[in-house]
Structure 1
Amino acid sequence: MRPRKGFIIILFFFASFGFLDPVVLAENTSFEFPSFNFRNISLLGDSYLRNGVIGLTRSVDVPTSSAGSIIYNNPITFFDPETNITASFSTKFAFSINNVNPSSFGDGLTFFISPSNQTLGSPGGYLGLVNSSQLTSNKFVAVEFDTRMDSHLNDPSENHVGLDIDSMNSIKTAEPIVQGIDLKSGNFITAWIDYKNEQGKLMVFLSYYSLKPEKPTLSVDISLSNYLKGIMYVGFSASTEGSTELHQIQNWSFQTSGFLAPRPNLQPHNVSDNSVTAVGVDIPKTGSSKKHEKKLGLGVAIAGPAFFFVVLSVLVYVSVKKLRDVRRQKIFRTDFVACPREYNYKELKLATKGFHPSRIIGHGSFGTVYKAFFISTGTIAAVKRSRHSHDGKTEFLAELSIIAGLRHKNLVQLQGWCVEKGELLLVYEFMPNGSLDKMLYLEPERGHLLNWSHRVNIAIGLASVLSYLHQECEQIVIHRDIKAGNILLDGNFNPRLGDFGLAKLMDHDKSPVSTLTAGTMGYLAPEYLQYGKATEKTDVFSYGVVVLEVACGRRPIEREGTKMVNLVDWVWGLHSQGKIIEAADKRLKEEFIEEEMKKLLLLGLSCANPDSADRPSMRRVLQILNNEAACLPVPKLKPSLIFSCSLPLSIDEIVSDGEEDNKRNSMCEIKIVSDSEESNTSHSMCVDKD
């Protein structure tokens, strides 16, 4: 073998193993769906496929609340870091918004671009694009076709098109009725959305026909370069709230443009004489060529061993990684033998249809929950798939280590686990009636309303399991994320507490540990929000909010007109007026025992008292519900907390528990002012940082 050929072969091997990285340019993307099938799309929420047409919301004859999304499975590149080019894009689709009840229109649909392939938001004015409880969590660029005027979102009318970026408040809107287009006509409307990056302009065209009009319905001068970074997904979302509106997508095409063409591998115009090999002709070697080949030979002699050393290093690395994985799985098997069984990954993948989006039944603190059908046994289970991140692994270990050792009739039973293929999976028993929040807010619209006896049973069962976690376990278990969404209901509507992804263990004789605040807004105790110290009393506060939800049928934070209403404040306001019974869920139509309802409402306020010292323990709560102890007195006016100005200014100060901090006398002063009809009293307490 000639030295030159040998050197070229080595270069080939280096390139093959990725040691010589060629410049890879982003490529333009295009796809077209004349009609739809299940190939290359994911259906989330209430969306469905019927006769080649996508329905984004439920097809119903009675008003309901619904939200659904369709997402193109393959990620799309909008930005090329090599050339610093942001792609232009254009999309065309036909949609219809129909209604069996013309007086019941709302809310509309969107075309969106998002970094997440799990984009599914809340019903109502959120258009299935953002979550009502976390308005800023989803990132997106969207064009909305809105059929309801939400004044708090600054909508101009109930028939408008708008550009939304990371918010439901549109950057700019237009009314297509000016061009004779009625979004609610029930006819299929063809939409074109064109974004020209070099011009910094986005335009939306609408027509009842397939011919694109000359004048856009909406034109916005904007650069999307800062929003179209990394891997993005495209799709549609829609929602309703108390409506029979139906949203359909008939066809869809999409393409990006503007990226440079890939560079050719061969450049014949730049080939040097030295790179051409003569075949069948012996050319006398000059002195210079001999020296050149000696240099090449020396290069081969050096590069050859180096190449084999690199290959050997790669093989050693792969082997060590595999060995670590095996050891990690052995550690799991050693530490968690208490679990009923270890599942096979293939078995769980088959049972969840490859973790298909249509099998999603919920989202936990650090993972997604899928409905699993085990064909071999004919059983159903819920499989929680932790996210592939450091936090996901940490929470997986926390949840598995904590719940594996717990036994209580009001806990969701853990059936097994699986650690394979880089996946972290927990298998739970399936709860046929879903979560409490679903039964309180979604199911009633379908005719399934929790009656009073079910609600009392839920309050008692949840108090029982929290009393067990706080007082009866070897170590105190602080859940930290008690909310209606984490309380599941079995076939008899008995409550089962689940999702221990944020739970913490604490010795009975130890002080609470400072952590970064975690949980869900509306359920978090004020002192936990301020200092990040989770205790049994922070769980008691969350329990009080859930009890008020059960009694009132209202969410912890609800929008009324242009303002947000806090449930605890609202109930306490009625209590101060002597009208607390008016907080009872009107949907119950007074089919409850008034004294029991009043006791439950007052108990909820006692648990949600801003002063943690005045909150009862969960054991006392259980005694009150079982009529074994008297209710605690609740002041007519809600106590207010006043925090001093010497609060910590950084996260490090909040969560630090070092020796230097323990030497400090106190971090701040909390003053709790309590007013009643008889007297005005106040007291204060010092909160140590340790």
Structure 2
Amino acid sequence: MTPRNLLAVALFLLLFTPPRTQSIGFDFNSFNIRNLTLLGDSHFRDGVIGLTKELGVPSSSAGAVIYNHPIGLYDADTNITASFSTRFSFSITNTNPTFSGDGLSFFLSPDNRTLGSPGGYLGLVNSSRLVNKFVAVEFDTRLDSVFNDPNDHHVGFDIESLVSIKTADPASQELNLKSGESITAWIEYKNEECRLRVFLSNSSLKPSEALLDVNIDLSSYLKEVMYVGFSGSTEGSTDLYLIESWSFHTSGFVPARRRFKPHNVSDSSVIDSPNISISDSGNGYHSRLGLGLGIAGPAFFCAVIAVFGFFSLRKWRKIRTQKSFKAELLTGPREFSYRELKRATKGFHSSRIIGNGAFGTVYKAFCTSSGGISAVKRSKHSHEGKTEFLAELTIIARLRHKNLVQLQGWCVEKGELLLVYEFMLNGSLDKLLYQESVEASLLNWSHRYNIAVGLASVLTYLHQECEQQVIHRDIKTGNVLLDANFNARLGDFGLAKLMDHDKSPVSTLTAGTMGYLAPEYLQYGKATEKTDVFSYGVVMLEVACGRRPIEREAGTQKMVNLVDWVWGLHSQGKIIEAADKRLNGEFKEEEMRKLLLVGLSCANPDSSVRPSMRKVLQILNNETEPVFVPKLKPSLTFSCGFSLTVDDIIVEEGGGEWESAKATTIQID
């Protein structure tokens, strides 16, 4: 074999022989954000994970926590499925025993981004799509006849459905899931026995007898890689589900390593080296020569490897830079084909248009593969459109919250930039608030207040609970969508910015929609969480009053600013008169007053006194007292050059998309 061929073989062995896959595991005695993803209402508290939040009755809550790294559970080469075991401690506390929550689950799923619905869906599956891929053990504390629950206190084993294959009552072992005490669970699956067992105890000692014993072969359900985690949900209750510790381990999963076999050489072949006699006189010379070759050979080999690796790395980095966007999303939302989306939208026909924005058009799509309805956003071909597309996709793909529009997939083909979203049956909030049809049903007060709470919840998540803070920058009624139950879903992250929590805001080109832009943002172009708070305040005043942020006064050409109008009524002690007249007084006056005052406090010209979104959420949920709102609207002046009033900076009626360089000077009276 020539040296060149020998080197090629050595490189092949070194670079392309696959490593042995070992069994894996992890142990968490306490938790931190580093290795876990939190979805929905899940949160950290003193090293413990809370899956739900303590909310007032009749609120609902759903959350999930997922281990960041996929777990190898199946090897296609050897057709081996792993066995696994997990041990975790949890507690269920009910602060209002009159209303019991639904429960929590431990699950394995190929999906690490989907948060299910609250209530009986356990935060595990979506109420609009019951079919999902998962294997789970549920700890159910509420009787739900839809899923054939045997009682309101059971442990069940589920596969791709919340109708349990088998259940058991912990009371049979004198255990009470609702006691609020710490309970330790062991879940073991042995692939060679096709058997799954669940053990429960009030102590750290594993009992000898399993509570739940299921004969089941999971090899067809455990994919090559799966994500593991917990989910929990409540509906109209105050249950808190806490995960206190967690360990997970696989076993029996060591795929055979491929071996390089030279051509025409059998496994039993033995190469015998002939005996060669060497005279004593040449021993010293040959020893030195052997030593030199022994050092120089490996050194030369390493040098060749280093040069080869250097050029390979440069090429790899170039390819990675070109394709990093696509590669980053392979484990996330689904990649659709252009052909499929074109067919689903009838060739992007104008009859399928359900919305338009500055950066693209939204189409209603009927997907034949799933039989469902989606919304496809088709971004424009401009540089700004591509930038917006990348921003929206990279941001929303990593976020999970019940009040966010769910991203289902994406497509980059034929010069097109396409995003596929969950279809919102009731459209955008602005269309329901400002319906032109008299016959259309009016958004009632209960729905409006629920929208206010939901939007506050998701902004709290974006501002304070994500690993990186997300500033939306374009909160308006047109970007608040409503699902079938009129729950608010925030969408359109085309202008959103990611920021580290401890970083200062950076001045950028001012972008957003007139009527929703905070005065300091107009002046300095610095988007912060407080500029989002201002926009939220304007939206809340719209929800309460049924009026646009900037409207032309009836019978005149004068433009009326909604914040100024409501503050004027507040200064006269008549703030309740700002309520939407179309409600005909059918609202709770205390809630209406609270929402109006929250709107004004958020839309305060002075950003330093605006409440945080967490504070707003607590106020709306009656967990804290409302902030003080002065009778007279504060005046804020940016001193330089000349001054502009709100009327001077109105560029179009009704609040359209708007971009501008920073204003020189603005005075807000």
**TM-score under structure 2 normalisation?**
0.48
**TM-score under structure 1 normalisation?**
0.46
